[in-house]
Amino acid sequence: MNDLHYRAVIQAASIICFFLMSGCTSTLFIPDKGTSFNLAGCPPLMNCVSTESSCSLYQIPPIPLKKPLTPDSWQKIKMAASELDGAVIDEDRYGYIDITCYSAVFHFPDFLEVLISEDQKSLQIRSASMLGLWDLGVNGRRVEAFRARLKAMDISN
């Protein structure tokens, strides 16, 4: 194999690896304050779930609240989110939380976002892996664990 052919193979392999390892990010263009925005949907990869996804493959239902959001219930929601495996809260304001959840073994980062709905009666959720094309169902299980915690705390139906 000549040097030019070898370089072309290395470049092609690098590009393929980049696309295989690239994943999602948190929602872009979040305003500095307030909750009048939407979470991002999911890219066409098997590494994301979102209440805002237009594709049924990635769509999950919002988490209904028993009562409209109050400062007390928001504190409980934040506590439930922070207790998820590997969770580190990156941004927190009334009605919106941006969390990075790190996997136990390799510490791969995943992004979890929680946003109160306009009517203050449900939570919009997005959980996405930063790396890889497929999350092996981790993001869906994370959202369901969060949903179960909120039910146990009598916040959700």
| pLDDT > 70 in the chain, percent | 78
Q: Please report the pLDDT score of residue 26 as a whole number.
A: 53
CA distance 115 to 124: 5
Whether the pLDDT of residue 99 is over 60: the answer is: yes
Q: Please report the pLDDT score of residue 41 as a whole number.
A: 78
Q: Please state, in angstroms and as integers, the Cα–Cα distance from residue 91 to each residue in 16, 95, 111, 152, following that order.
A: 33, 11, 11, 24
Which band of pLDDT confidence, cut at 50, 70 and 90, is reported for residue 156? Answer: very high
Domains of the chain, each with CATH number or no CATH = 3-152 (3.30.310)
Q: Please report the pLDDT score of residue 31 as a whole number.
A: 58
Q: Please report the pLDDT score of residue 91 as a whole number.
A: 92
Against a cut of 0.75, is the pTM above it?
Answer: yes
Q: What is the mean pLDDT of the chain?
A: 84
Higher pLDDT, 90 or 24: 90
Highest mean pLDDT, choosing among 9-18, 31-40, 69-78: 69-78
Residues 6+ apart with CB under 8 A from 93: 33
Contact at 8 Å (CB) between 116 and 69? yes
CA dihedral 147, 48, 26, 11 (to 10 degrees): 160
Higher pLDDT, 6 or 86: 86
In the chain, which ranges are continuous DSSP H helix? Answer: 3-21, 71-82, 138-152
